[in-house]
């Protein structure tokens, strides 16, 4: 491990890190990583060092492990934190749901300048590649787990990816380390465990250098994916039209480049890529009449068209909001938008006593915007402003008592603050709307 330690020392000298967090499970891998990080700390090469344990409450021994890890960290003088999370399957397997809960916990507690160290090693990488191959993954999946990537405001780092489990076992025995054994690791009900116990040993008998072979394959896949990403970024720069993709330009791309661009954008936005059934329907979706407001949906994502634009949206941003009391001194947000009011004089919406509320379209609302000679429906006004159909139910309607005072940041006739009158200047921001309704 001396070579590994020297490599990490050099790397740490070049990084302005504030804190290193070890994702501690109590198993062999993370116990070795914690000990290695402790040695780096003792040598003066690490900033603040912490160890975090996420208790998924899935094993009867989880609380005992939590206490045991606290003692282990105390013996090393490492700050220890434990988090309890609730694992919600939501149609996915236990492993995937636990992973999602764990990463969500990390993301919520990390801050800028942090680096989260995970203990996956070369054998884990091999199993990941095999699982993804069996699921039909392309270069992105077959490249395996990245050594480093961003996570929330911090960085995620896997420093052991080039070391085998055997090397970690030797290190643990040499230093007399103890660790917890998760009984679920022996259950071949889980695909990863089946590969680990039944498939990989047979492959190793035939190809002893299996890790080196799959490592070369992962490198080739990463290079291929990097090239695909370069093409996708070039296509995006050519087609980006405000907050959308230009439909006419998108249709000039080959099917392969269309698919590549959509997958690339999904990865950039941390969304699931479109499945094959969605990609198969892409030509008919592009050809559908616009008045049908065509949509292609898959878990967590929706592809929509409007006025020759293509929009890639998160499903969570399309939720219809409920009315709420307006507090002009606060930034108030809801799925798809947010509203801030700035106190001013002689402009904006007139300040006056009353019950102020933000509501959202139910249908049939009418009003008279500043500059219009006659009342108009809110529906037609939003259409004239180029608000996409899926955002119209999320545009804030500002009411004073029962009077509609503003739509978005456009005021109703008679509600402008006059000279020397106190007012609120409205700032409405929406995810995929360039508002021109001032």
Nearest-10 crossing angle of helices 210-239, 255-268: 100
Question: How many other CB atoms are there within 10 angstroms of residue 342's CB atom?
Answer: 13
Query: Is 164 one of the annotated binding-site residues?
Result: no
How far apart are the C-alpha atoms of 386 and 391, rounded to whole Å? 10
Query: Is 28 one of the annotated binding-site residues?
Result: yes
CA distances from 386 to 306, 324, 389 (A): 9, 25, 9
Question: CB-based contacts of 159: which residues, under 8 Å, 6+ apart?
Answer: 4, 8, 33, 36, 117
Query: Is 25 one of the annotated binding-site residues?
Result: yes
CA distances from 418 to 171, 397, 399, 409 (A): 76, 22, 19, 17
- Both tokens assigned to 202: 């047979």
3-state secondary structure string across 88-151: CCCCCCHHHHHHHHHHHHHHHHCCCCEEEECCCCHHHHHHHHHHHHHCCCCHHHHCCCCCEEEE
How far apart are the C-alpha atoms of 177 and 290, rounded to whole Å? 65
Query: Is 27 one of the annotated binding-site residues?
Result: yes
Cβ 381 vs Cβ 406: under 8 Å:
no
CA distances from 266 to 163, 241, 272, 312 (A): 31, 17, 6, 8
Query: Is 29 one of the annotated binding-site residues?
Result: yes
Q: Which of 21, 41, 35, 38 is nearest to 108 (CA)?
A: 21
How far apart are the C-alpha atoms of 364 and 341, rounded to whole Å? 27
Query: Is 423 one of the annotated binding-site residues?
Result: no
How far apart are the C-alpha atoms of 36 and 29, rounded to whole Å? 11
Cβ 110 vs Cβ 152: under 8 Å:
yes
Residue list, annotated binding site: 25-30
Binding site feature residues for ATP: 25-30
């Amino acid at each position: 491990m001396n070579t590994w330690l020297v490599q990490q020392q050099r790397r740490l000298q070049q990084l302005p890190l504030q804190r290193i967090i070890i994702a501690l499970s109590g198993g062999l891998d993370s116990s070795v990583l914690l000990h290695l990080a402790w040695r780096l700390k003792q040598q003066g090469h690490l900033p603040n060092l912490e160890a975090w344990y996420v208790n998924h409450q899935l094993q009867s021994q989880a609380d005992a492990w939590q206490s045991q890890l606290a003692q282990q960290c105390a013996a090393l003088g490492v700050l220890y934190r434990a988090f309890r999370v609730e694992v919600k399957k939501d149609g996915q397997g236990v492993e995937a749901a636990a992973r999602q809960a764990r990463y969500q916990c990390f993301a919520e507690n990390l801050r800028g300048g942090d680096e989260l160290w995970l203990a996956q090693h070369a054998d884990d990488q091999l199993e990941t590649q095999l699982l993804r191959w069996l699921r039909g993954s392309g270069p992105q999946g077959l490249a395996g787990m990245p050594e480093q990537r961003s996570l929330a405001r911090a960085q995620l780092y896997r420093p052991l990816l080039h070391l085998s489990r055997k090397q970690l076992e030797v290190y643990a025995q040499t230093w007399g380390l103890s660790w917890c054994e998760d009984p679920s690791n022996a259950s071949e009900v889980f695909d990863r465990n089946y590969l680990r116990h039944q498939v990989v040993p047979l492959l190793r008998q035939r190809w002893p250098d299996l890790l080196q072979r799959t490592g070369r394959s992962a490198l080739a896949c990463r290079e291929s994916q990097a090239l695909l990403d370069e093409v996708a970024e070039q296509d995006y720069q050519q087609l980006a039209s405000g907050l959308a993709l230009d439909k006419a330009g998108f249709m000039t791309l080959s099917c392969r480049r269309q698919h590549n661009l959509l997958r690339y954008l999904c990865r950039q936005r941390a969304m699931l890529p479109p499945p094959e059934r969605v990609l198969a329907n892409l030509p008919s979706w592009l050809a559908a009449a616009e008045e049908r407001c065509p949509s292609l949906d898959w878990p967590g994502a929706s592809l929509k068209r409007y006025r020759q634009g293509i929009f890639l949206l998160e499903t969570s941003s399309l939720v219809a909001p409920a009315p709420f009391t307006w507090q002009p001194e606060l930034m108030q947000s809801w799925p798809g938008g947010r509203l801030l009011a700035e106190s001013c004089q002689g402009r904006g919406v007139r300040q006056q006593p009353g019950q102020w509320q933000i509501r959202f379209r139910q249908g049939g609302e009418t009003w008279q915007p500043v500059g219009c000679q006659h009342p108009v429906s809110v529906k037609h006004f939003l259409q004239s402003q180029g608000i996409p159909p899926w955002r119209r139910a999320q545009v804030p309607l500002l009411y004073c008592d029962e009077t509609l005072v503003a739509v978005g940041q456009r005021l109703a006739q008679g509600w402008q603050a006059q000279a020397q009158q106190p007012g609120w200047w409205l700032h409405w921001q929406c995810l995929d709307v360039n508002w021109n309704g001032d």
